[in-house]
Amino acid sequence: MAETKSNKLPLGTQAADFELADAVTANLYSLEDVRGERGTVIMFICNHCPFVKHVADEIVRVANDYRVLGFGFVAISSNDVEQYPEDHPDLMWQFARKHNFTFPYLYDRDQEAAWNYKAACTPDFYLFDADLKLVYHGQLDNSRPGNGIPVNGRDLREALDAVLNSRPLPGPQKPSIGCGIKWKYRP
Beta strands in 45-152 (DSSP E): 71-77, 105-107, 121-122, 124-129, 134-138
The domain spans of the chain are: 4-180
Give the distance, in angstroms, between the CA of residue 49 and the centroid of all CA atoms in the same chain.
13
Q: Is the pLDDT of residue 1 over 60?
A: no
CB-neighbour burial class of residue 138 (10 A; exposed 0-12, middle 13-18, buried 19+): buried
Q: Is the pLDDT of residue 44 over 80?
A: yes
Contact 40, 68 (CB under 8 A): no
Q: What is the pLDDT of residues 136-170, one digit of tens each?
A: 999 999 999 999 999 999 999 999 999 999 999 87
Q: Is the pLDDT of residue 187 over 60?
A: no
Instruction: Report d(CA 14, CA 17) in Å as an integer.
Output: 9
| pLDDT given for residue 116 in this prediction | 97
pTM of the model: 0.96
| pLDDT given for residue 132 in this prediction | 98
pLDDT confidence bin for 172, thresholds 50/70/90: confident
Q: Is the pLDDT of residue 56 over 70?
A: yes
Which residue(s) pair with 142 in the sheet?
none
**Helix and strand numbers, DSSP H then E, in the chain:** 5, 10
Percent of the chain scored above 70 by pLDDT? 98
Domain 4-180 has CATH 3.40.30.10: yes
| pLDDT given for residue 91 in this prediction | 97
- Which residues does 151 contact at the CB level (< 8 Å), separation at least 6? 54, 55, 57, 58, 140, 141, 143
pLDDT (average), residues 46-72: 98
